[in-house]
C-alpha cells in the first residue's frame, strides 16, 4: 500500500475516510496488516503529506491510532493527550489539519479502563495533573448513575467506561462550540466529526 498523495486525498470524503478506519481496525483485530513498505513511504512523504483523517486519542501506550487502525506514514494526523480532551492548542492543530492540510474526518477516540478517566473519577490531585483532571471532571458529573457516591470511583469499571464515553461526547461538543472553522466545515459537509471507543481487551473500536 502506497502513501497517500494529493490525488488520492482529493478522492476522499468523510464517509470514505471513516470506512478506511473501520476497515483498518478490522484488519488489526484479525491480526492482519495491509502490505506496505514503510521505508518507501518515508521517501514518498519526504516532500509532503496528505493525510485523510485526524484522530484525537489518549496517551495510553495501548492505544496507538496508527496501529489500531492499521495506517501507515502520512495517513493520519495523530493528536494525543491524557483523557483525549481539547484545548486551544489542540483545536488549532485540528483546524490546521482540516482546513489547511485537507483531512476529511476528525475522530475523538476514548478507550476503556482509561487511567486519566479513573483519576477524574477519584478527583485526583497531584501537581500539574490537577489541571488536567479538572478538564475531565465535567464528564464525571454528567454521568448520573450510580448515585451512590461510594461506588462512583475508579474501582467501578462500568462507571469509569461510562465516564469515558461521556467524555468523548463532551469533547465533540467542545470542538463544535469552540471552533467556528471546524463547525462550519462540518455543516458544509467538508468534514465529519465522530466519536469512538477502543476496547483495550479486544482491540476493537466502536464508532458512535
206 among the known binding-site residues?
Answer: no
Please answer whether residues 73 and 42 qualify as being in contact, where contact means their C-beta atoms are separated by less than 8 angstroms. Answer: yes
Hey, CA dihedral for 60, 61, 62, 65, is it positive or negative? positive
**Cα–Cα separations (whole angstroms), residue 50 to 3, 9, 53, 182:** 8, 6, 9, 18
- The CA distance from 143 to 200, in Å, is 21
- Residue 57's Cβ-count burial label (10 Å; 0-12, 13-18, 19+) is buried
111 is in an annotated binding site: yes
Backbone angles phi, psi at 161, to 5 degrees: -70, -30
> Which residue, chain included where needed, has cell 468523510?
14
Residues annotated in the binding site, as ranges? Answer: 58, 60, 111, 114
Residues annotated in the binding site for Zn(2+), as ranges? Answer: 58, 60, 111, 114
Amino acid at each position: 500500500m502506497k502513501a497517500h498523495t494529493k490525488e488520492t486525498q482529493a478522492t476522499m470524503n468523510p464517509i470514505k475516510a471513516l470506512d478506511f478506519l473501520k476497515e483498518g481496525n478490522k484488519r488489526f483485530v484479525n491480526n492482519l496488516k495491509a502490505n506496505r513498505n514503510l521505508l518507501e513511504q518515508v521517501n514518498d512523504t519526504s516532500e509532503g503529506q496528505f493525510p485523510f483523517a485526524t484522530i484525537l486519542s489518549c496517551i495510553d501506550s495501548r492505544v496507538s491510532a496508527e496501529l489500531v487502525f492499521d495506517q501507515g506514514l502520512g495517513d493520519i494526523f495523530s493528536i494525543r493527550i491524557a483523557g483525549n480532551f481539547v484545548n486551544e492548542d489542540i483545536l488549532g492543530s485540528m483546524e490546521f489539519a482540516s482546513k489547511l492540510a485537507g483531512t476529511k474526518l476528525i475522530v475523538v477516540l476514548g478507550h476503556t479502563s482509561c487511567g486519566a478517566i479513573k483519576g477524574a473519577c477519584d478527583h485526583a490531585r497531584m501537581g500539574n495533573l490537577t489541571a488536567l483532571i479538572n478538564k475531565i471532571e465535567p464528564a464525571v458529573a454528567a454521568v448520573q448513575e450510580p448515585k451512590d457516591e461510594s461506588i462512583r470511583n475508579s474501582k467501578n469499571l462500568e462507571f469509569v467506561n461510562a465516564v469515558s464515553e461521556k467524555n468523548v461526547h463532551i469533547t465533540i461538543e467542545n470542538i463544535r462550540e469552540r471552533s467556528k472553522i471546524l463547525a462550519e466545515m462540518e455543516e458544509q459537509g467538508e468534514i465529519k466529526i465522530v466519536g469512538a471507543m477502543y476496547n483495550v481487551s479486544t482491540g476493537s473500536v466502536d464508532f458512535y
